[in-house]
Amino acid sequence: MERTAVNPRDWSLKLGYNQAEVTRGAARQVVCAGQTAVDGTGAPQHPGDMRGQIGLALDNLEAVLTAAGMGLGDVTRLGVYATDVDEALKNFDLLGMRFGQYNSAPPMTLLGVTRLAIPGLMFEIEATAAV
């Protein structure tokens, strides 16, 4: 698959994402439901710790992608939901570290929400990936 970044202006690159990407030649696509900071039984982890929740949500996203035969480098779109956008942004270096190792900066949207489905969760990330 070929991916071409589209950034008419480069402001989003400083935040770690492309404004758009053109993809060609994708044979398979996976759409991942929102992943959060839960353990294998679905129990919330890292209460009150945005950084811990982002890290575990990324681990869970990577596990879903791996089970689908893909990885973080195959992600073409992210949707991010946070109960505290400012706190999430302070910890977005975690996304940069995880996606940066694949030279990937998928287009994303970050939305502030009043709460997530499970009380105590502060961060949720959904993804679309293609190969």
Q: Which residue has the tokens 């939901």?
A: 81
- Give the span between the Cα atoms of 75 and 90, in whole angstroms: 22
State the pTM of this model. 0.90
18-29 burial, b at 16+ Cβ within 10 Å, e below that, comes to bbebeeeeeeee
Q: Where are the domains of the chain?
A: 27-130
Is the pLDDT confidence value at 16 over 90? no
- Tell me what pLDDT residue 14 has: 85
- Tell me what pLDDT residue 77 has: 97
CATH topology of domain 27-130: 60s Ribosomal Protein L30; Chain: A; (3.30.1330)
Dihedrals phi, psi of 10, to nearest 5 degrees: -95, 10
Is the pLDDT confidence value at 26 over 90? no
For the stretch 50-106, pLDDT in tens is: 999 999 999 999 999 999 999 999 999 999 999 999 999 999 999 999 999 999 999
